Amino acid sequence: CVYTENCFVPTSEIIAVEETELNKKQRNTGKWQKMAKPHAFTVYYVKKARNHRWRCSDVTFWCVDEHLCNQWIQALKELLDMQKCRPKQLLVYINPSGGKRQGKRIYEQKVAPLFSLASISTDVVVTEHANHAKDNLFEVNINKYDGVVCVGGDGMFSEVMHGLIGRMQKDSGIDQNNPKAPLVQCNIRIGIIPAGSTDCICYSTVGVSDPVTSALHIILGDCQPLDVSSIHHNNTFLKYYVSLLGYGFYGDILKDSEKKRWMGPMRYDYSGFKTFLSHHYYEGTISFQPAKHTRGSPRDKHRCRTGCYICKRSEQELAEQQKESGLKHE
């Protein structure tokens, strides 16, 4: 940990370490004026604010000896290099038409400087049409990247998700149209910079729709696993989905709002009110097939495939709950 004036900063939350250039005015002010040639380095770290928001803060350390200053910088950079989960090279897709058409500005002003500070190299693609990102992911050398970042809304995330998963199946010779085919798990992470009309996926994974917060999570290599489901009809693959699946009223709102993207986020309120006044009702049947040979349950004490612990309750609490619900403990 690095000690600042009022807190300890874990190395896992340090963004970058840089030598600080001291001008003449800084040298001749305050208690440092006694130093003939002071040297300093600045530590940039994550400062956690309210409502799950993160910000980049910094603290400067002063040294009387240049060699000591360089030793600190080198030691801290070596510690950062040990954080293997952090990305070094990212592929970025920007949707310039999403939301209020601020995606490009948000990335260039709020995200790109942070990536540069963290020494993350990026290849940026500004999408020109629908499914541009999806189609491009089938062509690029995906193995050179540590992750893919999408700047936009839920639609942009959906494009990148379909492109990545589809690319993995294609490279592995898996037929996506076969609902019984075992899909190859995608090992490339997706980062989301919210810049759309709705940012449901970003909000549900990070806890807030804020570009700076999302960028800092990406820099630190944070990962939130998501379950992905597929939809097939007559042995034909339709699409993947995460977070939610809408039918009926919700689907009609989305269908109508797509024709009014020029209205921006307001289109959802307009289409929702319009659909509500139509007094439609919906009938349907949902069929599902329970998974077999599952490796675990969210309520057990075993590690899941991603290595995290989902249930933190003690065995006693679990046994009491199972007893009350009439379940047998396996």
Q: What does the pLDDT look like over 20-76, one tens digit per residue? A: 876 644 444 444 444 455 789 999 999 988 888 999 999 888 888 889 999 999 999
| Residue 288 is assigned to a structural domain of this protein | no
CATH of the domain at 221: 3.40.50.10330
Q: Do 230 and 97 fall into the same domain?
A: yes
Residues 95 and 232 in one domain: yes
Enter the tokens of residue 143: 């193995």
Domain end residue (candidates: 213, 236, 259): 236
Residues 230 and 252 reside in one and the same domain: no
Tell me, yes or no, whether 122 and 150 share the same domain.
yes
> Which among 68, 37, 70, 43 is positioned nearest to 56, based on CA atoms?
43
Q: 89-127 b/e with 16+ CB inside 10 Å = b? A: ebbbbbbbbbbeeebbebbeebbbebbeebebebeeeeb
How far, in Å, CA of 37 to CA of 286, rounded?
74
**What's the distance, CA 25 to chain centroid?**
41
User: 271-297 pLDDT, tens per residue?
Assistant: 888 888 887 778 878 777 666 665 555
Regarding whether 207 and 120 lie in a shared domain, the answer is: yes
Residue 309 lies in a domain: no
255 lies in which domain range? 243-273
Is residue 114 situated within a structural domain?
A: yes
pLDDT tens by residue, the chain, 330 residues? 555 555 677 888 999 999 987 664 444 444 444 445 578 999 999 998 888 899 999 988 888 888 999 999 999 999 999 988 999 999 999 999 877 789 999 999 999 999 999 999 999 999 999 899 999 999 999 999 999 999 998 889 999 999 999 999 999 999 999 988 888 888 899 999 999 877 888 888 888 999 999 999 999 999 888 888 888 888 899 998 886 666 788 778 878 887 887 777 787 788 888 888 887 778 878 777 666 665 555 444 554 444 444 334 444 455 555 555 554 433
Judge contact between 229 and 243, C-beta under 8 A: no
Residue 311 domain-assigned (yes or no): no
> Do 226 and 253 share a domain, yes or no?
no
Residues 115 and 215 placed together within one structural domain of the fold: yes
199 is catalytic: no
Count of structural domains, the chain: 3
Kindly report the pTM of this predicted structure.
Answer: 0.73
Catalytic residue among 154, 199, 210, 252: 154
Does residue 262 sit within a domain?
A: yes
The residue among 116, 114, 112 whose CA lies nearest residue 103 is 112
Helical packing angle, 266-277 and 249-258, nearest 10°: 130
Same domain (yes/no): 50, 175 = no
Question: In terms of domains, do 126 and 43 share one?
Answer: no
